[in-house]
Amino acid sequence: MLPSLLSPHLLQRLGVLGVCVALLLPVAPAQAQLNNSRLPNLGDGAEVPLGVERRLGESIAREIYRDPDYLDDPVLGDYLQSIWQTLLASARQRGELTPELEQQFAWEVALIRDRSINAFALPGGYLGVHLGLISAVSSADELASVLAHELSHVTQRHIARMIAQQGRQGPMVMGAMILGMLAASRTPSASSISAANAVMVGGQAAAIQSQLNFSRDMEREADRIGYGVMTEAGFEAQGFVTMFEKLQQAARLNDNGSFPYLRSHPMTTERIADAQARQQLLPSRAAVAITATHAMMSARAQVLANPGVDVLRTLASQANPTTLETARKPRQAGLLYGATMAEMKQRNFAAARQHLAHLQALSGLELSAQRVVRLVSAELALAAGDATQAVALLEPKATVIANNDRATRMQLAQSRVATRKAAQAKLAANELSLWLNQHPRDASAWLVQASAYELQGDGLRAIRAQAEARAMELDYGAAVDRFKAAQSLAHQMASEGKLDRAGHMEASIIDARLRELERLRREQALERGIN
Ligand SMILES: [Zn+2]
């Protein structure tokens, strides 16, 4: 089991960053001050057009999607979305998320496979969440308090103000700086990176961090507005308070290593005073109710963060009769789910099935928790090589799959493909086509779609689906290559008289998409060239 590494991909980019930082450092502090004094009360960040901020965000998101530690886990993704969409609706209702902002920005949350506790907002409405944050919080309310804070940095255009301040260095330099900071926030490890390199990265990171950190006033504003957004969304205010206490405790212990969030969000006396004032307005100090769903998602995040074999064994052994007996039901669910996942990860399928059987026998779980149990049952069946059983567990019986249930769709499609049966592959391709019509930006769904077409021997559609996946990851160069491959296959098939009516239609879609992607690639190259 590999530990979570400081990604070599991001480090590669730090090479470029080294140059930028060397150029920046001598002038930067004075310049920042100058800009600060020249830009009083930059209220709405209006001088940075939304499109410019979005494109800067895309250039950063593109690197994140290519990072091996970027994780598209549909189960955790759906959980995150259930919180995120509720917060967006609240911000919309309150008027902070304007229609223009909503339409022009991405509003996407990316999961990063890292054990440290961090969440960050990027330009253009892209957000990132480390798995460590999900496993460290005790409730959806605590998670919501962090996400609402980050959301408010975006809606209040704090990032735009920062771009304006750093403006003379050009947005691409700022993109490189943000990437460098993200790399430095990752869990350090004794990988191939030399110690000297790591020290250099750390030193640079501190310098960059001081330039990229939001001001104290921005932090207080994000606290204040985030608090309003989360409570009006229906989350417990207590979650804000307990999350704040967690961060404060970590700050007292000076635990910056596992809490990179503290480096970007220092616990200033003003913030603490504000939080205490809010807390005094709360009626009681009743603990936030812990749900089985959250307990299971927290355990899942812990296992997916590649914690090493010792932690996996501990997770498996924690689900013992003595501990379970004294635990309340939500915690029981979390313990049994964690043990199932930990054994599955170690490929101890028999042991995993035993824990799963106990989990399934827990009565009275909320509906969303029952769904999570069904998903892990199918996941275990698939991991153990029984794709047919996985399909049987996931196929809707009397109802249809809910619109927002991406995890069930993705697992069902993957399981159908894994049966290696053409009939199942056809079903998967049809179901995914419906999904992709509504969610064309879903790169992982395009990739499963490509496998489904391959199984049916439909090479043309398979290559096009691969091309779409690359395009949705914003890697336009790779997408153009795949579309060209699809185009030459179509030409070859046509010359051999193998292209039917539907094939001709597919070929013309490929031609049009290739032209579009070539345009996007030119724009991308131009942006990089200018900056
Ligand atoms: Zn903040």
The amino acid occupying position 229 is: V
Q: Of 179, 162, 161, 163, give the one whose Cα is nearest residue 171.
A: 163
CA of 261 to the centre of ligand 1 (A): 9
Q: 8 CA distance to ligand 1 centroid (A)?
A: 27
pLDDT tens readout for residues 368-383: 999 999 999 999 999 9
Averaged pLDDT, 280-302: 85
Q: Is 193 a residue whose pLDDT tops 70? A: no
pLDDT band for position 473 (cuts 50, 70, 90):
very high
State in Å: Cα 37 to ligand 1 middle.
22
Instruction: State pLDDT tens for residues 62-105.
Output: 999 999 999 999 999 999 999 999 999 999 999 999 999 999 99
Q: Is the CB of residue 220 less than 8 Å from the CB of residue 270? A: yes
Q: Which of 287 and 403 is assigned the larger pLDDT?
A: 403
**152 touches 221 (CB < 8 A):** yes
Chain segment 498-511, per-residue pLDDT in tens: 999 999 999 999 99
Cα 95 to ligand 1 centre (Å) = 20
Please state, in angstroms and rounded to a whole number, the distance separating the CA atoms of residues 143 and 159. Answer: 21
User: How far, in Å, from the CA of 275 to the mean position of ligand 1?
Assistant: 14
The whole-number pLDDT of residue 27 equals 26
Distance from residue 152's CA to the centre of ligand 1 (Å): 8
What mean pLDDT, rounded, does the chain reach?
84
DSSP state of 123: G
**385/383 Cα distance (integer angstroms):** 5
CB burial readout 333-358, b (16+ within 10 A) else e: bbbbbbbbbbbbbeeebebbbbbbeb
pLDDT band at 294; cut points 50, 70, 90: very high
Instruction: Specify whether the CB–CB gap between 485 and 514 falls below 8 A.
Output: no
Secondary-structure percent of the chain, ordered helix, strand, coil, rounded to 5 = 70, 5, 25
Coil, helix or strand for 130? strand
Contact in structure between 305 and 131 (CB atoms under 8 Å): yes
Distance 264 CA to ligand 1 centre (A): 7
C-alpha 295 – ligand 1 centre gap (Å): 26
Beta partners for 186?
none
Q: What pLDDT score does 198 carry?
A: 45
140 — pLDDT class (breaks 50, 70, 90):
very high
Question: At residue 523, does pLDDT exceed 80?
Answer: yes
- H and E: helices and strands count for the chain: 27, 4
**CA of residue 29 to ligand 1 center, whole Å:** 21
- Ligand 1 center–CA 149 separation, angstroms: 6
Nearest C-alpha neighbor of 287 from the set 227, 328, 325, 233 = 328
* 246 CA from centroid of ligand 1 (Å): 16
The strand pairing partners of 70, in sequence order, are 112
Per-residue confidence (pLDDT) for residue 126, from 0 to 100: 95
Q: Closest Cα to residue 301, out of 264, 255, 334?
A: 334
In the numeric block, which tokens belong to residue 125? 């409405």
- Using the mean position of ligand 1's atoms as its centre, give its distance from the Cα of residue 103 in Å: 23
Residue 37 CA from chain centroid, whole number = 36
Phi, psi of 47, deg, nearest 5? -75, -10
Distance from residue 365's CA to the centre of ligand 1 (Å): 35
Q: What is the DSSP letter of 124?
A: G
| pLDDT, position 214 | 82
Is residue 175 within 8 A of residue 212, CB to CB? The reply is: no
Q: What does the pLDDT read at residue 46? A: 56
The size of the chain, in residues, is: 531
CA 88 to ligand 1 centroid distance, Å? 17
The rounded percent of the chain whose pLDDT value lies above 90 is 63
Say if residue 44's pLDDT is above 80.
no
Give 376 Cα–ligand 1 centroid separation in angstroms: 34
For residue 2, give the DSSP letter. P
Looking at residue 531, its pLDDT comes to 46
Tell me what pLDDT residue 202 has: 53
- Quote the ligand 1 centre to 150 CA distance (angstroms): 6
Residue 219 CA to ligand 1 center (angstroms) comes to: 5
Contact between 364 and 396 (Cβ < 8 Å)? no
Rounded to the nearest angstrom, the distance between the alpha carbon of 174 and the centre of ligand 1 is 18
- Ligand 1 centroid, distance to 272 Cα (angstroms): 13
Who has greater pLDDT, 419 or 35?
419
Distance 25 CA to ligand 1 centre (A): 24
Cα–Cα nearest to 75, from 300, 385, 273: 300
- Give the per-residue pLDDT at 255: 66
Ligand 1: centre distance to CA 428 (Å): 42
- Strand, coil or helix: what is 128? strand
- The Å distance, Cα 248 to ligand 1 centre, comes to 14
166 CA → ligand 1 middle, Å:
18
Of 102-111, 151-160, 287-296, 448-457, give the lowest mean pLDDT range: 287-296
Output the CA 266–ligand 1 centroid distance in Å: 9
Q: At what angle do helices 367-383 and 292-304 cross, to 10 degrees?
A: 30
Residue scoring higher pLDDT (191 or 147): 147
Query: What is the 40 CA–ligand 1 centroid distance (Å)?
Result: 20
Give the pairing type, strands 70-71 and 119-121: unpaired
Ligand 1 center–CA 17 separation, angstroms: 24
**Cβ-proximal residues to 101 (8 Å cutoff; 6+ apart), any chain:** 50, 125, 155
**β strands within 397-527, DSSP E:** none
129 membership: H or E segment, kind and range: strand 126-130
Strands, sheet with 119-121, edge to edge from the N-terminal-most edge strand = 70-71, 108-112, 126-130, 119-121
Q: How far is the CA of 265 from the centre of ligand 1 (A)?
A: 5
Q: Determine what percent of the chain is predicted with pLDDT higher than 70.
A: 83
| HEC letters along 165-196 | HHHHHCHHHHHHHHHHHHHHCCCCCCCCCCHH
Q: Which two tokens stand for residue 389?
A: 């059983």
Residue 214 C-alpha to ligand 1 middle, in angstroms? 7
Backbone angles phi, psi at 303, to 5 degrees: -70, -40
Question: What digits encode the pLDDT tens for the residues 297-321?
Answer: 999 999 999 889 999 999 999 999 9
Cα of 227 vs centre of ligand 1, distance in Å, is 12
Ligand 1 centroid distance, CA of 153 (Å): 7
Across the range 382-411, mean pLDDT stands at 94
Long-range contacts formed by 379-383: CB under 8 A, 24+ apart:
379/75, 379/344, 379/411, 380/340, 380/344, 380/349, 380/352, 380/353, 380/356, 381/415, 382/411, 382/414, 382/415, 382/418, 383/344, 383/347, 383/349
Q: How many CA atoms lie within 13 A of 339 on its CB side?
A: 24
Whether residue 390 has pLDDT greater than 60? yes
**Which of 190-194, 196-200, 232-236, 424-428 has the least mean pLDDT?**
190-194
- What pLDDT, on the 0 to 100 scale, is given for residue 5? 29
108-112 vs 126-130, strand pairing mode: parallel
Residue among 206, 235, 101 at smallest CA distance from 159: 101
